[in-house]
Amino acid sequence: MASKVKVGIIGLGWPGREHLKGYKQSSGARVVALCDMNTDIAQQQAEEHGIAEVYTDHQKMLRGADIDAVSVCLPNYLHAPVSLDALRAGKHVICEKPPALDAKQAGKMAATAKAGRLTLMYALCQRFSGAAQLAKDFIDKGDLGEIYCGRAVYHRRRGIPTGTNSWFVDKKRSGGGALIDIGVHALDCAWWLMGTPKPVSVSGSAYQKFHHLVPEGTNFDVDDSAFGLIKFDNEATLILECSWALNLPGGSAIQVAGTKGGAELSPMTLFLESDGIQLDVTPQVPQTDAFAGQTGHFVECIQQRKTPVMSAEQGVQLMQMLDGIYKSSATGKEVRIR
Ligand SMILES: NC(=O)c1ccc[n+]([C@@H]2O[C@H](COP(=O)([O-])OP(=O)(O)OC[C@H]3O[C@@H](n4cnc5c(N)ncnc54)[C@H](O)[C@@H]3O)[C@@H](O)[C@H]2O)c1
């Protein structure tokens, strides 16, 4: 049996704590160290979960703790520098979404992981939901035919995240707004169901219309809604809509359509046809814990030297699509991706 992967978690906000709970469900992993600049948070989690080592500085943890891998669950501007520090210290990395502030940073992360022959995975947990996994099984079996159309929607009617030092709404620390924060989840999930084809062009618009909802004195220089159209090298097309604030109902939808059928994740429905009759099939969705599925997969990839389903290279392409929407919005032109 493969030896247990010893893990350190950096950043213990909500996602960091979900990673911790996920690892606890994996027989192949043991969390041995926690790091958060807020000592109280780290200490409290360490006591609750019986973890001996607590750090406030990730560099000290990388040097001092006996770990094979880390979860990077920090604000976006720390994803690339802290993941690079960990990779350079010879640790496997799972990094929260978005992969980085832009595709250039994600490219550096991918190259560093490759040079060190280390696993670098991104935490796009929607791929591990029961509905997404089930839809992917049908797609991979060919039941929906050739997938050529995807729709990724994630709207909040009102929900601009202005807490925690306001880093979410400050472009130099977040990389962007609604698009990079929640649009990334919907885009990634629909793109994965479509088979992660290579993006070739992007058109998009990003808006900021709800400045008045943000507390005075907050630096708010990002989008509160964004819309995009992405074309792929297999001639498939994906339409993306997302918002932190929009005068439409909130909600999400992930839909893909192929030559033989279509799928929608919520509520999980397959759109099929039999002898000319249109069928809406509602399969029983397996109850899964997406975070446990995600950390479990990361551990399995390390142990079995497998490429993760959400690989370092896919992280670069995902960032190219997001960068493309922002650039297209700023220039008013379609952006080609090489
Ligand atoms: N997968 C999901 O569904 C999901 C949900 C929410 C957030 N996220 C992502 O997770 C990341 C963290 O988000 P968050 O809301 O927890 O952010 P946050 O601002 O609450 O920070 C998380 C923790 O990191 C700590 N921290 C900040 N800088 C640090 C440093 N230099 N060294 C050590 N600790 C440090 C903070 O004290 C905090 O406890 C973001 O990238 C966000 O996009 C993912």
Q: Calculate the average pLDDT of the chain.
A: 97
- Given ligand 1 and candidates 20, 35, 36, 58, which is best to mutate, with the most ligand atoms within 8 Å of its CB? 36
CATH 3.30.360.10 in the chain, residues?
A: 127-290+319-336
- Measured CA to CA, the distance from residue 289 to residue 24 in angstroms comes to 12
pLDDT band at 1 (very low <50, low <70, confident <90, very high): low
pLDDT band at 165 (very low <50, low <70, confident <90, very high): confident
- Given ligand 1 and candidates 74, 125, 167, 294, which is best to mutate, with the most ligand atoms within 8 Å of its CB? 74
In this predicted model, what pLDDT tens digit does every residue of 243-273 receive, in sequence order?
A: 999 999 999 999 999 999 999 999 999 999 9
Does CATH number 3.40.50.720 belong to domain 5-124?
yes
User: Which residue intervals of the chain are DSSP H helices?
Assistant: 14-24, 39-49, 58-64, 79-88, 103-115, 130-140, 171-174, 178, 184-193, 290-304, 312-331
Q: What is the mean pLDDT of residues 44-69?
A: 97
CATH 3.40.50.720 in the chain, residues?
A: 5-124
Q: Percent of the chain at pLDDT above 70?
A: 99
The per-residue b/e assignment along 136-150, b for 16 or more CB within 10 angstroms, e otherwise, is bebbeeeebeebbeb
Residue 48 reports pLDDT greater than 90? yes
pLDDT at position 219, please? 95
Q: How far is the CA of 261 from the centre of ligand 1 (A)?
A: 39
Q: What is the mean pLDDT of residues 307-314?
A: 97
In this predicted model, what pLDDT tens digit does every residue of 100-131 receive, in sequence order?
A: 999 999 999 999 999 999 999 999 999 999 99
pLDDT at position 2, please? 77
Kindly compute the dihedral angle of the four CA atoms of residues 186, 192, 193, 197, in this order, to the nearest 10 degrees: 120
Locate 277 and state its tokens: 């009759």
Locate 268 and state its tokens: 């999980």
Atom 4 in ligand 1: which residue has the minimum CA distance?
15
pLDDT at position 163, please? 75
Fold of 127-290+319-336: Dihydrodipicolinate Reductase; domain 2 (3.30.360)
Residue 184 reports pLDDT greater than 80? yes
For the chain, the maximum distance between any two Cα atoms, rounded to a whole number of angstroms, is 65
Pocket lining: 35 vs ligand 1, CB cutoff 6 Å: yes
Residue 54 reports pLDDT greater than 70? yes
Could you write out the DSSP letters of every residue in 229-289? EEEETTS-EEEEEEESB-SS--EEEEEEEESS-EEEETTEEEEEEETTEEEEE-PPPP---
At 306, is the secondary structure helix, strand, or coil?
A: coil
Pocket lining: 123 vs ligand 1, CB cutoff 6 Å: yes
CA-based radius of gyration for the chain: 20
Cis peptide before 161 (omega within 30 of 0): no
